[in-house]
Amino acid sequence: MSDRARITRRGLFRGIGTAGLLAGCKPSERPPTTTEDGEQPPPAGSAGALGPGPSPLEFTLNGQRQVAEVAPHVTLLAALREQLRVTGPKVVCDRGACGACTVLVDGVARNSCMMLAHDVDGAAVTTVEGLSQGGKLSVLQEAFIRHDALQCGFCTSGMLMSCQALLGRTQLEREDVEAAIAGNLCRCGTYPNVVAAVLDAAKGSA
């Protein structure tokens, strides 16, 4: 074994001691990190910083202003269901693969399990509860019923929200609907009925 590859007992303990010394340094004694533009990030506890405890979150939910104290690590899905008791978005895969938790954020369909709650600060969030008005089902919900576009119903709330994002288009084709619901898993296989319902609703809403 060459001298370069040999590890001595003294060298080993010297390396361990150095690593332990660096790990024990206070954060204030460590070199400050900088952002891409060369500026230092705000210290923890300053304005604009979140955590580690709950921080104020304000957004619009189904047309109503909401103010809540939410921890930085909490997802939008968890905040909706567990803190605000809005249970339309479902917890299924919890990894953005099934679409059951889909909501609209400023009109765009998003998987709420893949967003932090604080990502919607100041935004408008719509869940399936916000589709009906005054106790009357929306055009899309009525079309789902007419075309039998739901069976077990577990995917339906997310499917409705993915489809609702399409209805503002002036021209809607079958391919548009199929692309929009590609991320919504329906184990009952009602996809053809969903497509028919959305195209029907698009005519009615127009």
The full set of domain ranges for the chain reads 139-205
Residues contacting 50, CB < 8 A, separation 6+: 72, 118
Quick one: pLDDT at residue 46?
45
The per-residue b/e assignment along 114-146, b for 16 or more CB within 10 angstroms, e otherwise, is: ebbbbebeebebbbbebbeeeeeebbbbbbbee
Quick one: pLDDT at residue 203?
87
pTM above 0.95, yes or no: no
Q: Which amino acid makes up residue 77?
A: L
CA distances from 43 to 22, 30, 49 (A): 21, 13, 7
**Tens digits of pLDDT across the chain (206 residues):** 444 445 565 665 566 665 555 555 555 544 455 555 565 555 544 446 676 889 999 999 999 999 999 999 999 999 999 999 999 999 999 999 999 999 999 999 999 999 999 999 999 999 999 999 989 999 999 999 999 999 999 999 999 999 999 997 768 999 999 999 999 999 999 999 999 999 999 987 65
How far, rounded to the nearest angstrom, does the alpha carbon of residue 86 sit from its chain's CA centroid?
Answer: 15
Return d(Cα 142, Cα 147) in angstroms, integer: 9
Neighbours of 100 (CB within 10 A): 26
Quick one: pLDDT at residue 12?
57
Return d(Cα 185, Cα 162) in angstroms, integer: 12
Question: Which fold does the domain 139-205 belong to in CATH?
Answer: DNA polymerase; domain 1 (1.10.150)
